[in-house]
Chains A and B, each alone.
Chain A
Amino acid sequence: MEILKNASAGTLESSDVYVEIEPGTGALEISLESVVENQFGEAILKAVREVLRECQVQNAVVRVVDRGALECVLRARVETAVLRAIGETASLRTAARTEDAQAVVDCGKEAG
C-alpha cells in the first residue's frame, strides 16, 4: 500500500499509543518513544514492522509514542494509521465494497 498522506491514530493516554505516519523517502523509518523502551523497545518495533509488512507498507516515516499499550492496542493503532494514510477509512471502504472489508479484516489477521 502506498502512503499517500500524513495520518495518525491513537492517543497519548495511559495504555494507548499514538502513531503518526507520512509518505517516506524510499524506505521505512520508524522512531519510538516509550516509557518501557528499555525493556520492550525491540518487541514494540518488531510488532510495528510486522503490521506494516502485512499491510504491504514499505515506504513511510512512522513515529510511535507509546504510553504502555498492550500489543493488541499497538497493532490496532498502526493498522488504523495506515488505513487512514492510504486515503480511505476502513468504514467507508467496507460500506462501499465487501471485498475491501474482507481485505481490511485479513490485514489485521495477518498482522496478528
Chain B
Amino acid sequence: MRRSMLFLPGNNPNMLINGNCLGADAVIFDLEDAVSPAEKDAARILVRNTMRYMDFRGCEIIVRINSIDTPYWKADLDAVLPYKPNLILLPKTGTASDALGVDAYMAQVEARTGLEQGSIGLMPLIETAMGVENAFSIASCSKRVKALFLGAEDLTADLQCKRTKEGREIEYARTRLVVAARAAGVDVYDTPFTDVNDDEGVVKDASYAKALGFTGKASISPRHVEVINQVFSPSLKDITYAYEVVEAIAQAKAQGKGAISLHGKMIDAPIVARAERTIAMAEALGLGKEERHE
C-alpha cells in the first residue's frame, strides 16, 4: 500500500538516513534531478550504502534512476538492484520500448546477482507528451510494470504551458494516466504539489487526485506526507459502510439473492468490489472491524 511517496535527494545524507521516520509509505531515493552531474557517482554510492545498512522496515524503497538518454542509468541499476528496492522509477518514459529496454537490463542484473527474475518492479514516470499518449502501451508492456507515475513539472515544460496550482493544464494527462493504468491493471500515482508552504493547497490537490482515481500521491516535502496519507486513507464512515455492504451481500447470498438493498440503495458487484478494497486498505492500516465500533 502506497498512499504517500516522499522524494529524498540522493546525495543528502541527512535526509536519506532519516527517511524512514518521516511517515511516508514509500521513500524515493532520487539519483536524477536532485543530483548535479558532478555528484552522480557520489549519490549512487551513498544511496547504495543507505539501502544496504539502514533499516527501512515498514517503508517501501523506490529509486529514481537517471533517464535512458544519460550515461548513468545502467550504473544506477548495477548499484542499487542488489539491495532489492521495491520499485525503480524510470524518468522520461516515452514509449513501451523505453520501459522494455530497462526491463531487459534489470533482468540481466537480477540474473547476475542471483535475484529472482522480475522481483523488482518498474514504475515509469510519465512526464512528456509522448509518454502521456503512450500511457497504456507503457503500463501494459511488461509484468514488471507495477504502476504509472505522473510528473507534471517536466510535462508542462514539454507541453509549453505554465504549471499552475489549479492544474487545469494537466487535467487531460491525469485522467488519461488513471484510465491507462486501470485498464492495464496497475496502480497510478499523482505528481507532487510543489508549494511546500501551502497546507490548504495540498489537501485540495490530493483530494482531487483521489477523486480522479489515483492510488496515491508523491511529495517533495515531509510536511505534505501526513496530509496525503489522510486523504488517501478510507474514512471511518467509508469503512463502516464497506463492512455493512459486505455483510449485506453475504446475507443476500445466504438467501439466494444476487443483489440486495442497503439504506435504500441497490448493492451490486461494483459496490461490493469497492467495499472489499476499502476493507483491505483499512485492515492494512490497522483500522480493523473492531475499531470502527469504538
List A residues at the B interface (Cβ < 8 Å): 9-10, 13-16, 69-73, 75-77, 79-80, 83-84, 89-95, 98, 101-102, 104-105, 108-109, 112
Provide the bound-state CA to CA distance between A38 and B137, in Å.
59
Residues of A within 8 A of B75 (CB): 90-91, 93-95, 101, 104
Check A94 against B78 for contact (C-beta < 8 Å). yes
Provide the bound-state CA to CA distance between A81 and B102, in Å.
29
> B92 at interface (Cβ–Cβ under 8 A)?
no
List B residues at the A interface (Cβ < 8 Å): 12-14, 17, 40-42, 44-46, 48-50, 52-54, 71-72, 74-75, 78-79, 82, 112
* Cβ 8 A contact of A73, one of B44, B49, B82: B49
Q: Shortest beta-carbon distance, B37 to chain A, in Å?
A: 9
Residues of B within 8 A of A14 (CB): 14
Give 20 new A-B contacts, CB below 8 A, not counting A89-B40, A95-B74, A98-B78: A13-B13, A14-B14, A16-B14, A72-B49, A73-B49, A75-B49, A76-B48, A76-B50, A77-B46, A79-B45, A83-B41, A90-B41, A91-B41, A91-B44, A93-B75, A95-B71, A102-B78, A104-B75, A104-B79, A112-B52
Q: Shortest beta-carbon distance, B188 to chain A, in Å?
A: 31
Check B45 against A76 for contact (C-beta < 8 Å). yes
Provide the bound-state CA to CA distance between A70 and B79, in Å.
20
Check A94 against B45 for contact (C-beta < 8 Å). no
* Cβ 8 A contact of B79, one of A10, A15, A84, A105: A105
Check B52 against A72 for contact (C-beta < 8 Å). yes
Provide the bound-state CA to CA distance between A77 and B50, in Å.
12
Going nearest first, the 5 A-B pairs with the smallest beta carbon separation are A94-B75, A72-B53, A15-B14, A72-B49, A95-B71
